[in-house]
Structure 1
Amino acid sequence: MEQREAVARGLDDRKSVGRPKSIEKSVKMQITMPSTLAAKLDDIRLLTHHTSTPDLIRRAIVFYSAAIRQHQKGGRVIFQDPDGREVEMSVTI
């Protein structure tokens, strides 16, 4: 009984299991997309070995945010293929 009370008050000294809770408040969102886009998202998730679609979306937002910052500073986002050929990514705001 004492153990349950300690857990309820947050005084339990056992290590928590799983991913640590974020300090930042989360906002739950629901999106609607065409099935072809959902399939493409799932293909990317499988190729990149992400465990969840929300995780993939979070990482995609970080990538897109970096591309936008470069664009705003006058920079460019360039990919290089295995042959050394460079392809510029078009960034639209």
Structure 2
Amino acid sequence: MFNPVSLPLLMAELAVASTETILHRSLLMATGDCTLAEYTRMVTEKMTASSLAAGALLAGESMEAVLAPYHSRATANAKRLRGRK
């Protein structure tokens, strides 16, 4: 069942988490502290999320299901990178 609040909330959380992740990664790159593993993660996580989102879209799933792979990765990255000092 579609919850009209869930999509806007999901999109807002995705926007905040993505912005935070970009900020942290940009700082890592600017200071020369970005590891090869982090660069690799940047590419592979987007490939995986895109594949899962495309599958959800082709299966006719909800927009929440299409955005979920991006949301889960962005929020996990923001949390993980927030802990790095």
TM over 0.5: no
Q: Which has the higher contact order (CA 8 A, sep 6+)?
A: 2
More helix by proportion, 1 or 2? 2
TM-score bracket for the superposition, by shorter chain length: 0.3 to 0.5
TM-score (norm 1): 0.30
TM-score (norm 2): 0.32
More strand by proportion, 1 or 2? 1
